[in-house]
Amino acid sequence: MLSALHPLGKLVVCMIWIAAAVLIFDARFQIATIVIAALALIVLDRTSPVLVLALMIPFALFGFGFLTTSVLFRQESNFALRMAGESLLASPAFSAGITLFLRAIACGMVSALFALTTDPGAFVRTLMVHWRLSPQIGYSLFSAMQLVPDLAAEAQQIRLARAMKRGRPPRRFPGPFEMFRLVIPLLAFAIRRAGRAAIAMEARGLTPGAPRTVIAAPRFRRRDLAFIAIALTALVLCISWARSRG
Amino acid sequence: MPSEPHAPDAARPAHWQDVAVRYPFADKAAVGPVKLTVEAGERLLLLGPSGSGKSTLLQTLTGLIPQSIPAHVEGSIRLFGQPVKERKPSGWAATVAQFFQDADQTLCGMRVEDEIAFALENRALPEKLIAQKVAKAMRRVGLPEEWRPRRTMTLSGGERQLVALAATLAQDAPLFVADEPTAHLAPEAANRLHRLLMETNEARSVLIVDHRLDHLIGLVDRVAVLGNGGTIVAEGSPGALFRDKRDQLDALGIWRPLASFLDAELQKVGLAPADPPLAVDDAIRHLEGASSAIVRKARTAVAAFVAANSARPFEDAGEQEIVARLVAADCAPFLGPTVLRNVSVDLRAGEILGILGANGAGKSTLGASLAGLLKLKRGRREGAPGGIAFQKPENQFVAGTAREEIATSLPRSALRSDHARQVDEILAAWDLAGPQDRHPFELSQGQKRRLALATLTAGDRWPLLVLDEPLAGLDANGAAMMSKHAEALRNSGRAIAIITHDMDFALRLCARSVIVGEGGLLAEGPTAQLLFDAEILKRAGLAEPAIAPAMRWLERAPEC
């Protein structure tokens, strides 16, 4: 359901929510944000709960750095907290660390919600139509987005070729030394691909500054307005709840 | 400025006048001086040996060379009477639809639907019209509707080629330029696309470079031949050219249609048809109803032709040791889902096995599984590991020059002088002595293919070799070289599996074949039987070899 929404509506809601998570230094608000984002993914977008949990791991590790800094280095943590611009709710360093920890996860979950429910192609098309993103930059973004999985496919082919020379099947995951040896050929592949994509686009008429049609650009519908209204109402309720308990 | 469609008028669609192209730091011109014209409504086939500059010449047509790819260009190039340099390359997009040699050069890496619509979006056509043109192009090329949201880079090489063709056809430009459009396509798809590209249309001119001539040649109006020096060395109607300039074309290493070889055999016995034939059928049609004396005489010629194009039977098959075997195997690409189930096949020493099937059927996966390079999802593999010549030869290259590439593939134990001598011999055997000091990525497609095959066959490391589309990008000399090496390896007791879309090549080299399709093996047996089983060919999306009419005639013609 979330995937069918207009990318810009989602982007605006997510940016507002991330800004609120940064500005409101309250553990309950951060927890509410995490729960709402996770539930939206699991219930409305049918994302696997395991995937949602797995996505939390890198953000949790990042947040854990704040937690340890707060607990183990109180002086430095004051500095870190001042830098973050918040005022503590008269709690010890540990609770401040927990809030920072939750904030990292909350921001991560909101970002994941946008990334998992938005087709990158539709997003770029929307930017070209509504925010006048130049087609040159838009299609460069297209190519760059496509390059990531293609690099993986190319890496697999190179690994197969090298495994053949070694005389045994490749391991499922490459080791650090093998990764290092893949860097140069993959870089060469990326440069070649970029050059080819540029020539292909030019040969097919992509001209700077010329009027062009953008097909299949998402359109704003009533459901997008409803989504924005519901999301912002939920945000206001969460803020009010956090303030009332504070 | 968006390009405006150029109404084809009396002016010639394309004209090169004394054009020569020299790349930066190159000591000689890559092509030229060339004088060549594509007339209105004409279907012109450009032939030339590997590295003769065909692709370079095509890229000068809209100014991609030198405006996007640096090079020094002499002479003048005109499109519909207008100097090419008057517009940017993108300004010619509505006038010239270009299909490049590598489908990745035509596609921009988007979804199938977006790729086909891209050029039309750039012309600012209404969205509704674009949708109609996209649907029409997909129907014409035979792309399934469910491909629309698929990313082009997740498709197989042949499937990408189909999408690139749909994208180019959708442009509906008055001049269509195609550089090896069917190199990776299964026969049925290749034949369909040749017909599509070459359909008679006064409003459209076609300039095509292709090596797969047997079904194409009857559809072209004129042939021009680029020589090794990058100049036009022959030009004319296809029939006359392949009869009158046969020796010259052979010397240059240029592909000829099979009918031309049969024509040569019939000429030896004085029974060639009056009009030079373009298809095998044409070459023998005049023999129907001929006297028994004439048929007897012709029979020797046709039999010689068929023998030269058929594989030697694999004798004593039961006595040869099995080099590799798959038993009830489920095969899957690396980190991918199962694509072939319950596959059982073996390969014996001294045997060449053909692996045939439509695009995306799983032939490459089967080849890699047979070589022991992919772990099976189920079942088992027996035998020593094999070597593979990959479809994209670049993936195999690790060294800085062609010479080093071969040197590193030889056993290290050899003496330094012996080692250098062996490298020289291999370079000479694969006609790579000239570009031996160039980086492998700088070589032409044909040279890259030969280098990949040379590195794989150097030394005797692998008792089993899998060659994935070994003819792609090769000229006739390169293909002959490849066949000769494959036969020599077979005679030395190695087992070889060849994945190919060229049914005549399979018939010529592979005594036995397997046909892949419908998620498993559809059939296995002697190639000469499989390729004449209409039902199997239809299920697999294949077509019978071009030599078929001659074989059928031989069966019908009385022996004495």
**Greatest CA separation found in chain B?**
72
User: Domain count of chain A?
Assistant: 2
pTM of the model: 0.80
Pair (B331, B303) in one structural domain: no
Radius of gyration of chain A, Cα coordinates, nearest whole angstrom: 23
Under 8 Å between Cβ of A128 and A138? yes
Count CA within 13 A, CB hemisphere, residue B240: 8
Q: Which residue of B has its CA nearest to A140?
A: B108
Pair (A39, A95) in one structural domain: yes
Pair (B265, B370) in one structural domain: no
Contacts of B109 in chain A (CB under 8 A): 142-143, 146-147, 150, 193, 197
- Does residue A139 belong to the interface with chain B, where contact is any CB pair within 8 Å? yes
For residue B133, being part of any structural domain is answered with no
Give me the pLDDT at residue A229, please.
Answer: 94
For residue B216, being part of any structural domain is answered with no
Give me the pLDDT at residue B512, please.
Answer: 92
Window 336-375 of B, Cβ < 8 Å to A: 368, 371-375
For residue A123, being part of any structural domain is answered with no
For residue A88, being part of any structural domain is answered with yes
- Does residue A203 belong to the interface with chain B, where contact is any CB pair within 8 Å? yes
- Does residue A148 belong to the interface with chain B, where contact is any CB pair within 8 Å? no
The series of mean pLDDT values per 10 residues for chain A, 246 residues long, is 88 94 89 92 89 87 80 59 51 74 92 89 87 86 78 84 76 81 86 85 87 86 92 92 74
pLDDT digits (tens, 9 = 90+) for A188-209: 888 888 888 888 888 888 888 8
For residue A215, being part of any structural domain is answered with no
Contacts of A178 in chain B (CB under 8 A): none
pLDDT digits (tens, 9 = 90+) for A68-104: 777 666 655 555 555 555 554 455 667 778 888 899 9
Pair (B302, B367) in one structural domain: no
Pair (B397, B501) in one structural domain: yes
Pair (A85, A176) in one structural domain: no
For residue A126, being part of any structural domain is answered with no
For residue B143, being part of any structural domain is answered with no
CA distance B375 to B370: 10
CA distance A243 to B9: 76
For residue B488, being part of any structural domain is answered with yes
Give me the pLDDT at residue B480, please.
Answer: 87
By CB neighbour count within 10 A (0-12 exposed, 13-18 middle, 19+ buried), where does B288 fall? Answer: exposed
Provide the number of CB pairs (under 8 Å) joining chain A to chain B: 147
Where a domain ends, among B241, B276, B308? Answer: B308
For residue B558, being part of any structural domain is answered with no
Nearest to A121 among B68, B110, B123 (CB): B110
Strand partners, B326: B345, B381
Report the Cα B184 to chain-centroid distance in Å.
6
- Does residue A211 belong to the interface with chain B, where contact is any CB pair within 8 Å? yes
Contacts of B119 in chain A (CB under 8 A): 204-205
Q: HEC states along B414-427? A: CCHHHHHHHHHHHH
Domain with B300, as residue range(s), is 258-308
Q: Please give the ipTM for the structure prediction.
A: 0.77
- Does residue B68 belong to the interface with chain A, where contact is any CB pair within 8 Å? yes
For residue B155, being part of any structural domain is answered with no
User: Domain count of chain B?
Assistant: 2
Pair (B506, B433) in one structural domain: yes
Pair (B448, B517) in one structural domain: yes
Window 214-233 of A, Cβ < 8 Å to B: 214-216
For residue A63, being part of any structural domain is answered with yes
Pair (A96, A39) in one structural domain: yes
Contacts of A158 in chain B (CB under 8 A): 395
Which helix (H) or strand (E) is B524 found in, with range? strand B520-526
Nearest-CA neighbor of B482 among B505, B502, B453, B508? B453
Strand partners, B235: B224
Give me the pLDDT at residue B415, please.
Answer: 58
Under 8 Å between Cβ of B246 and B232? no
Nearest CA distance, B96 vs chain A (angstrom): 9
CA distance B490 to B37: 46
Q: Above pLDDT 90, what percent of chain A?
A: 24
Please indicate whether, in this complex, the C-beta atoms of B109 and A146 are within 8 angstroms of each other: yes
Give me the pLDDT at residue A236, please.
Answer: 93
Please indicate whether, in this complex, the C-beta atoms of B109 and A143 are within 8 angstroms of each other: yes
Pair (A105, A163) in one structural domain: no
For residue A197, being part of any structural domain is answered with yes
Pair (A11, A94) in one structural domain: yes
For residue A130, being part of any structural domain is answered with no
The series of mean pLDDT values per 10 residues for chain B, 560 residues long, is 46 90 86 89 90 88 90 92 90 90 72 90 92 92 88 77 88 90 78 76 86 85 89 90 90 90 90 88 84 85 88 69 91 85 91 90 91 89 88 82 87 68 88 86 82 84 88 84 86 90 90 91 90 89 88 78
Pair (A107, A225) in one structural domain: yes
CA distance B198 to B376: 43
Nearest to A168 among B93, B123, B385 (CB): B385
Pair (A80, A157) in one structural domain: no
Sequential DSSP letters for chain A? -GGGS-HHHHHHHHHHHHHHHHH---HHHHHHHHHHHHHIIIIIS---HHHHHHHHHHHHHHHHHHHHHHHH-HHHHHHHHHHHT----S--HHHHHHHHHHHHHHHHHHHHHHHHHS-HHHHHHHHHHHS---HHHHHHHHHHHHHHHHHHHHHHHHHHHHHHHHTSPPPSS--HHHHHHHHHHHHHHHHHHHHHHHHHHHHTT--TT-----TT-----HHHHHHHHHHHHHHHHHHHHHHHH-
Pair (A15, A106) in one structural domain: yes
CA distance B105 to A185: 19
Please indicate whether, in this complex, the C-beta atoms of A157 and B392 are within 8 angstroms of each other: yes
CA distance B44 to B31: 18
Pair (B522, B403) in one structural domain: yes
CA distance B553 to B548: 9
For residue B304, being part of any structural domain is answered with yes
Pair (A113, A172) in one structural domain: no
Window 408-467 of B, Cβ < 8 Å to A: 441
Give me the pLDDT at residue B7, please.
Answer: 44
Pair (A102, A171) in one structural domain: no
For residue A60, being part of any structural domain is answered with yes
Dihedral through CA B234, CA B239, CA B244, CA B248, nearest 10? 50
For residue B13, being part of any structural domain is answered with no
Pair (A50, A111) in one structural domain: yes
Domain with A100, as residue range(s), is 2-118+221-245
Pair (B481, B450) in one structural domain: yes
Q: Which residue of A has its CA nearest to B335?
A: A172
Pair (B360, B482) in one structural domain: yes
Pair (A25, A73) in one structural domain: yes
Give me the pLDDT at residue B318, please.
Answer: 63
Nearest CA distance, B547 vs chain A (angstrom): 35
